[in-house]
Structure 1
Amino acid sequence: MLQLDKALIQARKAELESTKHALKHHFVGIDPIIDELMDCIQVWYLMPELLKRPVIVNLWGMTGVGKTDLVRQLVKHLHFQDRFAEVELSNIGQTSWSSSVSSVLDDYGFHNGKPCIVLFDEIQRFNTIDSKGEQLPQTKFMDFWELLSDGHLSKKQKDDLDSFLNEYYQRERNAQRRRSKGEKEDEDDSPGYISTWDAVNLKKALNLDMEVVDMLDITEEEMVSMILTAKRKKVIYEPINHTQTLILISGNLDDAFQMSHQAAEADVDADIFHAFTTKVTLMNIKDALLRKFRPEQVARFGNIHLVYPSLRKQDFHTLITREIHRVQTDTFGRTGIRLVTDVSMNQLIYRNGVFPVQGVRPLFSSVTDILEVNLSRLLLQALSDDIDTIHLSYSEARQAIVARLGDVTVEHPYVGRIDKIRQDNTQASVANISVHESGHAVAYMVLFGLVPLQLQSKVASSYASGFTFPHQLHRTRRTLLDMIKVYLAGGIAEELLFGHLEASTGRENDRERATELAMDYVRRYGFDDEFQATYTIEDYPHRMNTVVTDMDVEKMMMRLVSETKELLGQYVHCLHALSKALTEAGKLETDQVAAIAQQYDVAAEIKPEGHLHIADYDARLREPLVWRGRH
């Protein structure tokens, strides 16, 4: 029966709570993830003896949100550094000299059944099926699935014990022969203490809770007795027990995060990305896993899936403030010089360092590039002139970092790397982009009755990823058609205001997405009355000939192009006014867009990011049924 040490449990509870506070202080924007993680590991940390299976926690999110760092900080604060392993499994190349999880954990000395933490990072690289759903050949780390199943790893080798016994018995037999012949005993045949090499191997084979240095005091006869006892009890043949191992699995599942492909986008509002990532559910994660692993393998990941949202604007601002404070503290500690910055430096770093999909790494790099590199030039002058304070700001008008050192003001010409790309856009390019984006916006407001949360034309990349839907749209036959029109509206707006010969190629990504939706409309969802079978099944026995649907998709696109032209023609004055305002300002806030729309009788509401646009199904269901046949 387990003995309950209440004092120890209370002490561990206090340590868990202390760890939680430390993690929340260290990380920004992931407090709910930290709370959930600490809840998941509570039993493992307080009373691991109760566990019959290992605790498996999956961490999913886009790059740079702190998945791996969270685990490392957790290990540090729980003081598990000596019982922690990071393992990257991959089907590409040679991950390590090991070819099994068991050998990796054996190298770390984790086969003793005691609590430990193992992080399997970047697990998406260990996919067992390809993009077509075909099974990939695998020869390495196949016991990973065995570990996830019940926490036990079968033993593949039992030769060390028999080898030790055979050598011992051989020496004993040689000694007996010499004694029977009256010969002098050979020193090599006389019993002694086990060697360091034997101690290391036998400690693993017998799973002994002893230090190697203590085992050097064990005689060979005593070790033989221990081996024979273990053999009689059969314990050496039992699977290696890892039920007290905390298994953490981390990875990037792009299939679950719709916006992960927009990694180079620096101008989309971070809050829009955040709103979409908060909508990722357990089922989205499982669907994404099923595109990389076989169903029986996905089941072994368990049901504890913690999904990281991308960072919000306020999270990035908090990180920038922290990083500036770090530089200030470091500068004062090394030089005794006080660094004072104003908000213009924060804004400069944000504009040039925040790529919402890429997480924190570009931001940290930009702090070094913008602040620390330029500060190093000023420190030498301040130290030479015995200046104890440097005031730092950024002037957008003069495009310079302005430093005040005592009574002297120094200006260093500087344009952020991303700002420079934005500024390189000529006024003609800005006008072109403004019309394109306004076309999307007008169509979106007319068809969905919602104001876009972001409208910007002075951007670092022209149409890099196409139009970004800022709200969550419940997909129906109608919304699919309307989404296609919104995608088409950017290029068509250019044709209406500039003429079809001057329409730019910036429509490429929009057209690709519109075509994908049209293909799904016909082939996947059966919304086209002419094609009711599903044409998207990939496995060979059920694969349909998609060629027969191509002409229907093309006719549908032609029809929707015509309808979108008609729609924008009806609201061309609103389109023109919005385009002019956007060209002049470079960026319009939501209320400004709404005000222009109202002037031209476009009814559109301002809703927060992630708002679900869905028909009033519940109200319709409450109404009396009036059957009029099929509509």
Structure 2
Amino acid sequence: MEQIKTEQYKNHLQKKKEVLNNAVIQLKKEFIGIDGIIDQIANTITSWFFFPEIQDRPIIINLWGLTGIGKTSLIKRLTELIGFSEHYFRFDLGECTSRYYDIQDSFKDIYNNCDGEPFIINLDEFQLARTINEEQEEIDRASIRAIWDLLDCGKFDVIDFEYNMNWFNKLIKKLDLALYKGVTVEKGIISGNEDLYWDVVNSSNRPEVKKNKKVEQIPFVSDSDLDTIFNMVDHLFLVKSELQDKLNEMDGDQTIDYLIQLYKASLKPKTVDCTKSLIFVMGNLDEVYTMSRNFNPDMSANELHRQSTEITITEVKQALLNRFRSEQIARLGNNHIIYPAFDEKSFYGIIRLELDKVKRKVADTYGLSMIFDDKVERLVYEEGVYPTQGTRPLFTTVHQVVNTRLGKILNEIYLKGVEADSLYFRIDDKASEKDSTALKIDFLKNGEVIHHIIDQQTLVLGKLRQEKRNDEQAIVAVHESGHAVLLSVLMKTIPEVVFSVTADSNSDGFVLSRPEWNYISKKEIINRLAVLLGGLVAERIIFGEENVTIGSSSDLSKATKLATYVLYICGMGDVKAAFGNENMNGTPSVIFDNSSETVNKDAKELLLKAEQLAYSTLQKQEKLLIKMADYLSDKRTLTKEQVKEFIGQYAVDFSLDEIIEDAEHIFYRRHLKGLAEKYN
């Protein structure tokens, strides 16, 4: 007998394993670029999915990522694939924090349908449920206190709405008043003074009495009132008819006494058991994804992806500390899954996935097959990708490029009689105009083109990216080339890309780069400052002092901030201490420095030396600077490989061999090991 049970349990587990494995496979088909995230989630829910009976507190999984990265949609789809759609409850904490009854409604639903059983909760937009504001002051969030109980032990109490309690109290008083005025009741039915009953208890629902029709019996407690009462005390009865039968045995006074008992019982909170639940906490943490406020569509998706993969759980918890109390963060546990931003490959995968959806829909509805040229995918990418905004802008661009043309296509087929069986979307470069791209749609029959239409797709970002080839682009070309040359020569780092025209309204151009090492040493401070001042100095060398433009405000601000930071905070000056001034709030742990002759003087000297270094270096590399700037005055970008080519051809006393490739072993470890050898 025991062996049969064991065999049944093995079969049960095997079926569950197949369900979960199939769900993972399907999710990886539908969601691009997050295979690792899907695997992490599947591994974390294994114990809950296979052995919920031994779980005595909720499993909590935290999902953090940029907007539009696929957090909510992934979990919703997961619940469908593992058969939990009916036992899935989503709370939008951006809305629930202000509406107490929304949460209570959902908790009552959980109590009625899933109490003590496995189910899934999604606490979405969790960052908006903050209990500490920007000034680190506590915020009263009484409406979501049950959420924190849920995250703690999985059990919490809920009571009925105050509205229902007031309603119940008034109903009892009305019924009691009706009895006082002479209404009589036998076995739950009004036996005398029915008109008086309607006047006192429910005048708006008085039934219409028709001639020659037998008057129906009127219950003392109406059916609608009985439904509401049962919902308030359903934990006392198996079914509503059980309550109905009790009332049908009572006269008026007995009914009042019994309703008072039920009213008192309804005041007691109901304990909701969520110990067998799986809870997903998800949200956006701008404090961690520091790049999230950069809406520049020209920023590198690959670089953003790289930065996002370096975010750690300790950074997440530190960011949470700006929003929640320490004990609340502890309740979230240690299952923190950090979504990476999409890289370029993932974005193209998503584009193909969306185009495939369009293909299937058109094929199923109209019997037409569709083919998209690679250039169409490129058009969608260039017009639709904002790396920090995820997939949502991309979806609207697919709609603009493809779906909006389906009406024209169907008109050609059904109204003009073009008997095509397939469609081929491609870009016609010759027919394209300055501010638009020509979409050529070929109509094919048995593989032969029988008709075509050309439709112009207005370029939004493409228009902003067009080379201007004017004074403005020349200025930006010189400015950004100054940064790029000094970055290469002084910091031994080749920029990833240089832009002289960008679609970002807040930036005319920029250099995307980062030194391969993650620290700043004293010997490189002036070099870093020189790179920051390189744009301004390059303009001065090429155009002359009187023709320098005002586009260096951000560079000067960053340089000044770095110079004062290393001296005031990092102990890089003559006095090894942290400095401040008397205008600082509170009692800072700093040495007051209100004199322009001490640390401020040192900061000015650093900036002056950096400017001199930038000037002498760019004068020496003037040919490289001019050649690079000349190219960027005509073209909007210069890639890493192109920068290397320019350096190889035009740099003076500088070789590509000097570029630092292995930043993990520049000096410090080798130096330490060398010293240690002396004592072996």
The two structures have a TM-score, normalised by structure 2, of 0.77
Query: Percent of aligned positions with the same letter in both sequences?
Result: 25
Distance 1:131 1:551 in 2: 35
Please name the residue that 1:252 is paired with: 284
Distance 1:312 1:480 in 2: 32
- Which residue pairs with 2:559 in the alignment? 514
Q: Structure 1: how far apart are the matches of 2:129 and 2:600? A: 36
- Which deviates more from structure 2 when the two are superposed, residues 135-144 or residues 271-280? 135-144
Aligned to 1:393: 426
2:341 aligns with 310
- In the other structure, the counterpart of 1:432 is 475
Aligned counterpart, 1:402: 440
Change (3 A) 1:613 1:362: farther
- Separation in 2 of the partners of 1:303 and 1:505? 49
Q: Is 1:106 the equivalent of 2:137?
A: no
Amino acid at match of 1:322: L
Per the alignment, residue 143 of structure 1 pairs with: 146
AA aligned opposite 2:39: D
Q: Which residue of 2 aligns with 1:621?
A: 672
Within 5 Å, which residues of 2 pair with 1:162-241? 187=189, 195-203=226-234, 205=235, 219=246, 239-241=271-273
Match of residue 597 from structure 1: 647
Instruction: Report deviation, 1:151.
Output: 1.9
**Deviation per residue, 1:286-308 (Å, 9 max, x gap):** 12112222222222221111111
Query: CA shift at 1:122, angstroms?
Result: 1.6
- C-alpha distance in 2 between matches for 1:57 and 1:153: 20
Instruction: Please report how far the alpha carbon of residue 275 of structure 1 lies from its aligned counterpart in structure 2 after TM superposition.
Output: 0.9
Asked if 1:570 is matched to 2:620, the reply is yes
Does 1:279 pair with 2:282? Answer: no
1:124 lines up with 2:124 in the alignment: no
Post-superposition offset of 1:370 = 1.9
**Deviations 1:116-170, CA, capped at 9 Å, x for gaps:** 2221112222222233433344443233323222222245679999x999x99xx
Question: Quick check: 2:476–2:508 contact (8 Å CA) kept in 1?
Answer: no
Distance, in Å, in 2 between the alignment partners of 1:287 and 1:309 is 18
Give SS of 1:259's match. helix
Change (3 A) 1:582 1:67: same
Query: Is the 8 Å Cα contact of residues 495 and 511 (structure 2) preserved in structure 1?
Result: no
Question: 1:445 Cα deviation (Å)?
Answer: 1.6
* Pick aligned residue for 1:380 from 386, 408, 411: 411
Aligned match for 1:301, one of 332, 357, 367: 332
Q: Deviations over 1:463-513 (max 9, x none)?
A: 269543346541223466544433332333233222344334443333444
Q: What is the alpha-carbon distance in structure 1 between the residues aligned to residue 12 and residue 82 of structure 2?
A: 14
What count of residue pairs does the alignment treat as equivalent? 606
Is this contact kept in 2: 1:477–1:527, CA < 8 A?
no
Separation (CA, whole Å) in 2 of partners of 1:40 and 1:465: 44
The correspondence for 1:242, drawn from 256, 274, 277, is: 274
When structure 1 is superposed on structure 2, of 490-499 and 550-559 the one drifting more is: 550-559
Q: Return the alpha-carbon distance in structure 2 between the equivalents of residues 427 and 375 of structure 1.
A: 40
CA drift of 1:217 comes to: 7.2
* Alignment map for 1:330-409 (pairs within 5 Å): 330-383=361-414, 384-388=416-420, 389-399=422-432, 400-405=438-443, 406-409=449-452
Aligned partner of 1:540 in structure 2 is 586
- Letter of the 1:254 partner, please give it: D
- C-alpha separation in 2, matches of 1:612 and 1:153: 53
Structure 1 partner of 2:14: 10
Larger of the two Rg values belongs to structure: 2
| Matched AA of 2:621 | Y
| CA shift in 2, pair 1:469/1:96, >3 Å | same
Q: 2:440 aligns to what SS in structure 1?
A: strand
Aligned to 1:560: 610
Cα distance 1:103–1:158, how it changes in 2: closer, same or farther (>3 A)? closer
1:80 matches 2:126: no
Corresponding residue SS for 1:246: strand
Q: 1:492 to 1:184 in 2, by over 3 A?
A: closer
Deviation of residue 386 (structure 1)?
1.7
Residues 519-546 of structure 1, C-alpha deviations (whole Å, 9 max, x = no match): 4323443333446127599983447568
Residue identity matched to 2:307: F
- Compared CA separation, residues 492 and 409, structure 1 to 2 (3 A): farther
Q: Which residue of 1 aligns with 2:200?
A: none
* Correspondence for 1:455: 498
Structure 1 position 575, deviation (Å): 1.8
Give the equivalent residue in structure 2 for 1:49.
53
Q: Counterpart in 2 of 1:33?
A: 37
Which amino acid counterpart does residue 618 of structure 1 have in structure 2? Answer: R
Secondary structure of the 2:503 match is: coil
**Offset at 1:612?**
5.9
Stretch deviating more after TM superposition (144-153 or 275-284): 144-153
What TM-score comes out, normalization by structure 1 length? 0.82
Look up the equivalent residue of 1:248 and give its one-letter code. Answer: F
Q: Judging changes above 3 Å, is the alpha-carbon distance between structure 1 residues 350 and 48 closer, same or farther for their aligned structure 2 residues?
A: same
Question: Does the 8 Å CA contact 1:65/1:359 hold for their aligned counterparts?
Answer: yes
CA deviations 1:199-236 (Å, max 9, x no partner) are 32223x56x8x6x5676677469xx99x99xx99xxx7
CA change 1:130–1:158 in 2 (3 A) is closer
1:69-88 Cα distance to aligned partner (Å, 9 max, x none): 11111122122222222212
1:312 offset after TM fit, Å? Answer: 1.2
Q: Distance in 2 between matches of 1:118 and 1:147?
A: 10
Residue range with higher mean Cα deviation, 72-81 or 424-433: 424-433
Distance 1:614 1:130 in 2: 43
1-side partners of 2:594 and 2:509: how far apart?
28
Cα distance 1:324–1:103, how it changes in 2: closer, same or farther (>3 A)?
closer
Structure 2, unpaired ranges of 5+: 192-218, 250-256, 433-437, 444-448
Q: Retained in 2: the 8 A contact 1:196–1:216? A: no
**1:23, CA displacement in angstroms?**
0.9
Structure 1 495/377 Cα, relative in aligned 2: closer, same or farther at 3 Å? Answer: farther
CA contact (8 A) 2:96 2:144 kept: no
**8 Å CA contact retained: 1:274, 1:310:** yes
Q: Secondary structure at the match of 2:412?
A: helix
> Is the contact made by 1:328 and 1:338 (CA closer than 8 Å) also made in structure 2?
yes
Deviation (angstroms), 1:239:
4.8
Provide the secondary structure at the position in 1 that maps to 2:120: strand
Partner SS, residue 401 of structure 1:
strand
How far apart, in 2, do the equivalents of 1:571 and 1:417 lie? 38
Cα distance in 2, alignment partners of residues 607 and 213 from structure 1: 78
Following TM superposition, by how much is the alpha carbon of 1:440 offset from its aligned partner in structure 2, in angstroms? 2.3
1:321 aligns to 2:352 (yes or no): yes
Distance 1:370 1:9, change over 3 A: same
Preserved contact between residue 533 and residue 611 of structure 2 (Cα < 8 Å):
yes
Q: Establish whether residue 153 from structure 1 lines up as the match of residue 196 from structure 2.
A: no
| Greater CA drift, 130-139 or 10-19 | 130-139
